[in-house]
Every structure is written in C-alpha cells, then in structure tokens.
C-alpha cells in the first residue's frame, strides 16, 4: 500500500512539474480563437509589480490562460462537471436538447446602469423633439427568456420581464417589445414559408443559436419585421419580399461564444444565414476609411468567430449606402444589429451603424442627419457593458 501511495504521489509531482515547466518554456498563445479573446502574457517581474499586487494577479491569469494543453483541461473539466449533473459550466448553462445559455443572474445584471441608459435615451429623444425624426428602441431578449423551458432545473436568471417593463415605463411608444414575437412556438415552416425552401434541420425554427448568445437569422428577421411594422413600412405590397425570399446559408459549421466556454465536442453546429439580397455586392460599405462592396466578409467563415462574417466585426461607425431611394437610418447598437441590418437593405437609402462602446463623437449632431433612429441592443449587454451612453450621445 505504501508503494502504491508513493507511486501516486510521484506521478502527481511529475505531472505538476511537467505542467509548470511546460507552461513556462512553451511559446505563449496570444489569442484564443475558441474564446475570441487575447490571453494573458507573461507578467514582468519587478518590485513595483510585486508590492502593488499586480504581479500576483497577472501570474494567476497567466497560468490559467497559458497552461499547456489548456483546451484539453477545459473540455475535460466541463465534461466531468456535466457528467456529475452540474449544469453551470464557466458561466454557461447546459440546457435541454443541447441548447446552451449565457448565465446572467440578478447579481450579474446591473439595474442601475439599465435605468441610467434608459434615462439617457429618454433625454436624447427629448432633445430631438423639434426634429422630424422617428426614434425607436429595441432590446433583444435573451435565449433564457425565449427558451426558458429548455433551461436546466434550478437555473437562476435575472428578472428579465421586469427589465422590459422598466423600458416600457421609461420610453412608452418609442419602445418596441419583441418578447411575444420571440416566444412564438411556431417553427419557420408553419409560421411562414420564409425559410422553408432551403433550410436544413440545423436551427430550423430557432430564434437563437444553440451555441451562441446571438439571435439566428430567423430571430433577426422577426425583430426586423416588428421594427418595420412600428415605423409603418411593413405594407401588404412588401409582404412577399419579407416572407418568401429564400435565405442564403453561409455556413453550417458555426460554434459560438457559449460553445467556447464548455468545449463539448459532441455539440451540434449552428447555421449562419442571410437573406439573398445581403449576398449581392450592390452596397457601398465604409469602415474606418476603407470602402467595400458588400456587408459580408466571407473570409471570416474560415475563422473561429464566424459571426464576424457580418461586417468583419464591430467598429465605432459603419456607413452602408444602398441603391434604394428613401430614408436614412441610424442604428445605435451592439453586435445584435450586425445580423439585423441585412433585412433592411432594400428599405433605406443609407444605414449607419454606431457602436457607443467605441464611438466618441457627438451623437446628437450626427442624429440630425437621419430620418429614422433605432437603438438596438441585447438586453443584458445594454445593462452591463460600459456603453458610455450619456457622454457619447449628448456630447
């Protein structure tokens, strides 16, 4: 028995030594494609860093981020936790039918920031009252609200309905509530034949991806349909274009940000789709001083974060000029708008996207150049990210 203990101890020591030495001698990985983030590099050792506590904090992050065989350990730990019945893995709920959910509990949802951002928008609308500009606000509900019956038993979530009611109280008729639209249980084929002709079994009828927190092309379409109704451009004459245009499937090999948290290789892959009109190179797209002829960056389909196929990612400002004649739309947004915009390409002459996390110029002055303004965010992003709404909007 003593020999067995000695062998076990030595094995453990050698394993720890291998991990420690291997981690420090191997080349650092700068960027994790799976997690879509930059990893901690080796911290500089200095007396200043030691006494400030900065070194201790960074070395912990470094060992976590750069440990040799990291993805194997993450996947193994997630698999062990899942087999033990643990359904909260790295801040991701493992739900029924292979659906993953971003965990946002009451303590992780900033109600004060939600109110502050809503108040900023209310003030913004008030500032534009003398202008003939239609301002709307649309918050995308989370998949946890839309598919709450697929959440694991005992999963905690913030009071999302309360957040939506608060938005209604603050904004009134300026707010577009898409909760009921997203909760509709009918699949694509029964709800409409919009996606029926080409869509495979992957994501059929889903409003949100199985492995990512964003809405699918169908979810974005439903939200755009509600927006079109709210501003009076959803007419019977346009019904066929909205409902029966075959989508273009860009890939069926998408595993999103939530998959990267659990790395379960058994999980299905999602499909990314767009309306056919979005594939055409009929648009002038201006991003950071460069001009493109398409909103789609198809080379991003070869990367881990395939959602970047829309515009290549997020930027302070993107201007899209179409060949349609009509009004100009300004969208103040987060990444949910990236897959939303393809549905409005034939309804507006110009669409400008502005991301308040990066845009530093006077939003009020910019807004006066547009006929329609839409604030579009995922509800949890809206409350939790440092959007700097007041500073960027009011200048």
> Which tens digits make up the pLDDT trace of 285-313?
999 999 999 999 999 999 888 999 999 99
Cβ atoms of 247 and 275 closer than 8 Å: yes
Instruction: Over range 341-367, report the average pLDDT.
Output: 91
Of the candidate ranges 51-60, 137-146, 328-337, 360-369, the one whose mean pLDDT is the lowest: 51-60
Compute the mean pLDDT over every residue in the chain, rounded to the nearest whole number: 79
Query: Is residue 171's pLDDT more than 80?
Result: yes
Q: Please state, in angstroms and rounded to a whole number, the distance separating the CA atoms of residues 146 and 216.
A: 13
Percentage above 90 pLDDT, the chain? 46
**CA proximity to 117, closest of 64, 188, 171, 51:** 171
Strands (E), 144-225: 175-176
Q: What's the pLDDT tens digit per position in 23-74?
A: 555 555 555 665 555 665 666 666 655 656 665 566 666 656 555 655 555 6
Instruction: Over range 198-206, report the average pLDDT.
Output: 55
Query: Is residue 179's pLDDT more than 70?
Result: yes
| pTM of the shown model | 0.79
Q: What's the pLDDT tens digit per position in 257-291?
A: 888 888 776 667 899 999 888 887 789 999 999 99
Phi-psi region of 91 (alpha: psi -120 to 50; beta: other; left: phi over 0): left
């Amino acid at each position: 028995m003593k020999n067995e203990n000695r062998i076990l101890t030595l094995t453990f020591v050698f394993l720890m030594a291998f991990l420690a030495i291997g981690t420090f001698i191997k080349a650092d990985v700068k960027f994790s494609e799976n997690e879509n983030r930059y990893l901690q590099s080796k911290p500089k050792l200095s007396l200043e860093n030691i006494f400030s506590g900065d070194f201790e904090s960074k070395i912990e992050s470094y060992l976590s981020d750069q440990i040799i065989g990291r993805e194997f350990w993450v996947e193994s730990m997630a698999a062990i936790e899942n087999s033990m019945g643990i359904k909260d893995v790295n801040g991701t709920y493992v739900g029924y039918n292979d659906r993953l959910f971003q965990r946002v509990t009451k303590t992780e949802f900033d109600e004060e920031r939600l109110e502050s951002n809503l108040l900023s928008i209310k003030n913004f609308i008030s500032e534009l009252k003398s202008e003939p500009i239609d301002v709307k606000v649309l918050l995308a509900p989370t998949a946890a609200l839309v598919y709450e019956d697929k959440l694991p038993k005992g999963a905690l979530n913030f009071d999302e309905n309360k957040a939506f009611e608060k938005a209604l109280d603050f904004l009134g008729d300026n707010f577009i509530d898409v909760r009921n639209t997203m909760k509709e249980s009918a699949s694509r084929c029964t709800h409409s034949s919009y996606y029926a002709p080409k869509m495979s079994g992957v994501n059929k009828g889903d409003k949100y991806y199985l492995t990512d927190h964003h809405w699918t092309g169908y979810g974005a379409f439903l939200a755009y349909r509600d927006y079109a109704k709210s501003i009076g451009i959803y007419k019977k004459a346009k019904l066929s274009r909205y409902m029966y245009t075959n989508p273009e499937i860009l890939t069926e090999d998408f595993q999103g940000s939530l998959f990267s948290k659990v790395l379960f290789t058994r999980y299905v892959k999602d499909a990314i789709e767009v309306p056919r009109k979005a594939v055409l190179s009929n648009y002038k797209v201006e991003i950071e001083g460069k001009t493109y002829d398409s909103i789609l960056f198809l080379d991003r389909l070869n990367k881990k974060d395939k959602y970047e196929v829309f515009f290549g990612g997020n930027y302070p400002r993107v201007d899209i000029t179409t060949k349609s004649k009509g009004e100009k739309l300004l969208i103040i947004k987060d990444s949910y708008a990236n897959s939303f915009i393809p549905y409005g390409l034939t309804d507006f002459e110009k669409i400008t996207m502005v991301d308040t996390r990066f845009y530093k110029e006077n939003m009020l002055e910019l807004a006066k150049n547009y006929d329609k303004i839409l604030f579009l965010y995922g509800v949890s992003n809206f409350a939790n990210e440092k959007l700097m709404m007041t500073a960027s909007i009011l200048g």
